[in-house]
Amino acid sequence: MAAIGKKYNVAERDARNRRLGKAGEELVVHHERQSLLQAGRNDLADKVRWTAVQDGDGYGFDIASFEPDGRERLIEVKTTNGWERTPFHISQNEIAIAETRRDEWHLVRVWNFARQPKAFSLRPPLSTHIDLTPTSFLAALR
């Protein structure tokens, strides 16, 4: 086990994943603004907010955007350099917001990012699209 632990730098992996996630979010922010500009909604394009950077990462979505008709569009971005079916982590809070804000919430999966980024969107209920597997637990002393 010690040999495996020494070869695997968890902090480096986490930093790399944070950079990749932020780059994917930036791509989607740009896309959202451009889509609204193309729809003639300059007023809404100016209001697109990168909440994960500007406000904090606890909202259950990364980007607050709009549909061309003015309805809210809340976007959680999951980015990978791998293929579209590469597993990803999703928080309890993100799942809760997906359920409570079903009409507005979107999961945008950005994949093949380093080579030729592609993306698709999933809408709640998430259980129709993904299988959730617990990978960690919060432990509290009694």
pLDDT tens per residue across span 48-66: 999 999 999 999 999 999 9
User: Looking at residue 95, what DSSP letter applies?
Assistant: H
Q: Does the pLDDT at position 43 exceed 70?
A: yes
Tell me the two tokens of residue 9.
Answer: 């730098």
Is the separation of the CB atoms in 59 and 92 below 8 Å?
no
What is the spatial distance between Cα 113 and Cα 95, in angstroms, rounded to a whole number? 24
Tell me the two tokens of residue 27.
Answer: 């791509």
Q: In sequence order, which ranges of the chain are alpha helices (DSSP H)?
A: 2-7, 10-38, 42-45, 51-54, 92-100
Q: Does the pLDDT at position 111 exceed 90?
A: yes
Average pLDDT of the chain is 94
Average pLDDT over residues 108-114: 98
Tell me the two tokens of residue 14.
Answer: 């986490």
> Looking at the DSSP assignment, which residues form a beta bridge with residue 76?
107
Predicted confidence band at 4 (pLDDT cuts at 50, 70, 90)? Answer: low
Please report, rounded to a whole number, the percentage of residues in the chain having pLDDT higher than 90.
Answer: 87
Please state the pTM of the whole predicted model.
0.90
Helix (H) or strand (E) holding 96: helix 92-100
By DSSP bridging, strand 63-66 and strand 105-111 are unpaired
Looking at residue 48, its pLDDT comes to 98
